[in-house]
A = this chain, B = another copy of it.
Amino acid sequence: MIEDKIKELGFELPEPAKPMAAYLPSVQTGNLIFTAGQIPIVNGELKYKGKVGFILTLEEAQKAAQICVLNCLGVIKNIIGSLENIEQIVKLTVFVNSADNFTLQHLVANGASELLGEIFGDRGKHARSAVGVNELPGDSAVEIEMICRVKD
Protein backbone atom coordinates (compact mmCIF):
# COMPACT_ATOMS: atom_id res chain seq x y z
CA MET A 1 0.00 0.00 0.00
CA ILE A 2 1.26 3.44 -0.93
CA GLU A 3 0.67 5.00 2.48
CA ASP A 4 2.52 2.18 4.20
CA LYS A 5 5.40 2.72 1.80
CA ILE A 6 5.51 6.42 2.71
CA LYS A 7 5.75 5.53 6.42
CA GLU A 8 8.32 2.83 5.73
CA LEU A 9 10.49 5.46 4.02
CA GLY A 10 10.31 7.54 7.20
CA PHE A 11 7.88 10.15 5.96
CA GLU A 12 4.40 11.17 6.94
CA LEU A 13 1.53 12.06 4.67
CA PRO A 14 0.26 15.41 5.88
CA GLU A 15 -3.20 16.63 6.42
CA PRO A 16 -3.61 18.94 3.44
CA ALA A 17 -2.25 22.40 4.26
CA LYS A 18 -4.78 25.16 3.85
CA PRO A 19 -4.15 27.27 0.78
CA MET A 20 -2.55 30.59 1.78
CA ALA A 21 -5.19 32.34 -0.33
CA ALA A 22 -8.45 32.16 -2.29
CA TYR A 23 -8.10 28.98 -4.33
CA LEU A 24 -8.39 25.20 -4.10
CA PRO A 25 -5.56 22.84 -3.12
CA SER A 26 -6.24 20.70 -6.19
CA VAL A 27 -8.75 20.31 -8.99
CA GLN A 28 -9.71 17.19 -10.96
CA THR A 29 -10.71 17.40 -14.60
CA GLY A 30 -11.39 14.13 -16.37
CA ASN A 31 -8.79 11.73 -14.99
CA LEU A 32 -6.18 14.44 -14.38
CA ILE A 33 -5.61 16.21 -11.09
CA PHE A 34 -3.78 19.54 -11.05
CA THR A 35 -2.46 20.55 -7.64
CA ALA A 36 -1.87 24.09 -6.50
CA GLY A 37 1.77 24.98 -5.94
CA GLN A 38 2.82 23.40 -2.64
CA ILE A 39 5.41 24.85 -0.30
CA PRO A 40 7.23 22.99 2.51
CA ILE A 41 4.66 23.60 5.24
CA VAL A 42 4.50 21.06 8.08
CA ASN A 43 1.75 21.43 10.67
CA GLY A 44 1.06 24.96 9.55
CA GLU A 45 4.68 26.09 9.71
CA LEU A 46 6.83 26.92 6.70
CA LYS A 47 9.90 24.76 7.40
CA TYR A 48 12.38 25.91 4.74
CA LYS A 49 12.73 29.60 3.99
CA GLY A 50 15.30 31.60 2.10
CA LYS A 51 17.44 31.38 -0.97
CA VAL A 52 18.96 28.04 -1.86
CA GLY A 53 22.71 28.40 -2.32
CA PHE A 54 22.88 31.20 0.23
CA ILE A 55 20.64 30.66 3.29
CA LEU A 56 20.00 27.00 2.56
CA THR A 57 22.21 24.19 1.32
CA LEU A 58 21.39 21.86 -1.55
CA GLU A 59 20.63 19.12 0.98
CA GLU A 60 18.18 21.28 2.88
CA ALA A 61 16.49 22.28 -0.36
CA GLN A 62 16.10 18.63 -1.31
CA LYS A 63 14.36 18.02 2.00
CA ALA A 64 12.11 20.98 1.29
CA ALA A 65 11.29 19.45 -2.09
CA GLN A 66 10.35 16.17 -0.42
CA ILE A 67 7.90 17.97 1.85
CA CYS A 68 6.38 19.77 -1.13
CA VAL A 69 5.79 16.42 -2.82
CA LEU A 70 4.18 14.95 0.29
CA ASN A 71 1.93 18.00 0.44
CA CYS A 72 1.00 17.46 -3.21
CA LEU A 73 0.09 13.87 -2.40
CA GLY A 74 -1.89 15.05 0.63
CA VAL A 75 -4.08 17.37 -1.44
CA ILE A 76 -4.53 14.70 -4.11
CA LYS A 77 -5.62 12.17 -1.51
CA ASN A 78 -8.13 14.70 -0.31
CA ILE A 79 -9.87 14.44 -3.69
CA ILE A 80 -9.55 10.75 -4.50
CA GLY A 81 -9.73 9.25 -1.02
CA SER A 82 -6.80 6.85 -1.42
CA LEU A 83 -3.40 7.22 -3.04
CA GLU A 84 -3.94 3.73 -4.50
CA ASN A 85 -6.10 5.48 -7.08
CA ILE A 86 -3.13 7.30 -8.59
CA GLU A 87 -2.34 5.66 -11.90
CA GLN A 88 0.63 7.83 -12.91
CA ILE A 89 2.46 10.92 -11.74
CA VAL A 90 2.50 12.89 -15.02
CA LYS A 91 4.38 16.13 -14.44
CA LEU A 92 6.15 18.17 -11.78
CA THR A 93 7.14 21.80 -12.01
CA VAL A 94 9.74 22.66 -9.39
CA PHE A 95 10.42 26.32 -8.63
CA VAL A 96 13.56 26.89 -6.57
CA ASN A 97 14.13 30.18 -4.70
CA SER A 98 17.64 30.61 -6.00
CA ALA A 99 20.60 32.68 -4.85
CA ASP A 100 22.65 34.34 -7.57
CA ASN A 101 24.82 31.77 -9.31
CA PHE A 102 23.00 28.78 -7.86
CA THR A 103 22.42 26.53 -10.86
CA LEU A 104 21.60 23.14 -9.31
CA GLN A 105 17.82 23.40 -9.51
CA HIS A 106 17.72 19.95 -11.12
CA LEU A 107 19.43 18.43 -8.09
CA VAL A 108 17.00 20.15 -5.74
CA ALA A 109 14.17 18.71 -7.80
CA ASN A 110 15.72 15.25 -7.52
CA GLY A 111 14.67 15.32 -3.88
CA ALA A 112 11.12 15.30 -5.17
CA SER A 113 11.56 12.98 -8.14
CA GLU A 114 13.49 10.28 -6.32
CA LEU A 115 11.01 10.19 -3.46
CA LEU A 116 8.18 9.67 -5.96
CA GLY A 117 10.14 6.83 -7.52
CA GLU A 118 10.62 5.21 -4.13
CA ILE A 119 6.97 5.56 -3.20
CA PHE A 120 5.30 4.64 -6.48
CA GLY A 121 7.88 2.74 -8.54
CA ASP A 122 7.14 3.03 -12.26
CA ARG A 123 3.88 4.85 -11.58
CA GLY A 124 5.96 7.59 -9.97
CA LYS A 125 8.02 8.34 -13.08
CA HIS A 126 7.11 11.76 -14.42
CA ALA A 127 8.16 14.55 -16.75
CA ARG A 128 9.62 17.50 -14.92
CA SER A 129 10.76 21.08 -15.21
CA ALA A 130 13.07 22.65 -12.63
CA VAL A 131 13.67 26.39 -12.74
CA GLY A 132 15.17 29.02 -10.49
CA VAL A 133 13.14 32.02 -9.35
CA ASN A 134 14.16 35.07 -7.36
CA GLU A 135 11.30 35.02 -4.86
CA LEU A 136 8.53 32.69 -3.66
CA PRO A 137 5.49 33.21 -1.42
CA GLY A 138 6.45 33.66 2.22
CA ASP A 139 10.13 33.34 1.23
CA SER A 140 9.62 29.62 0.73
CA ALA A 141 12.72 27.79 -0.50
CA VAL A 142 10.84 25.62 -2.99
CA GLU A 143 7.38 25.42 -4.57
CA ILE A 144 6.15 22.35 -6.47
CA GLU A 145 3.02 21.72 -8.50
CA MET A 146 1.99 18.27 -9.72
CA ILE A 147 -0.23 16.78 -12.40
CA CYS A 148 -1.27 13.16 -11.91
CA ARG A 149 -3.59 10.74 -13.65
CA VAL A 150 -6.06 8.81 -11.56
CA LYS A 151 -7.85 5.55 -12.26
CA ASP A 152 -11.19 5.77 -14.05
Mark A residues whose CB is within 8 Å of B: 19-27, 29-32, 34-37, 88, 90-93, 95-96, 98, 100-107, 109-110, 113-114, 117, 125-139, 143, 145, 147, 149
Contacts and interface: CB of A to CB of B under 8 A. Distances in A.
A150 to B, nearest CB: 10
A106 B27 contact: no
User: Chain A's interface: helix, strand, loop or mixed, by majority?
Assistant: mixed
A144 B115 CA distance: 24
B93 A29 contact: no
Contacts of A21: 106-107, 109-110, 113, 128, 130
A69 B133 CA distance: 22
Contacts of A32: 29
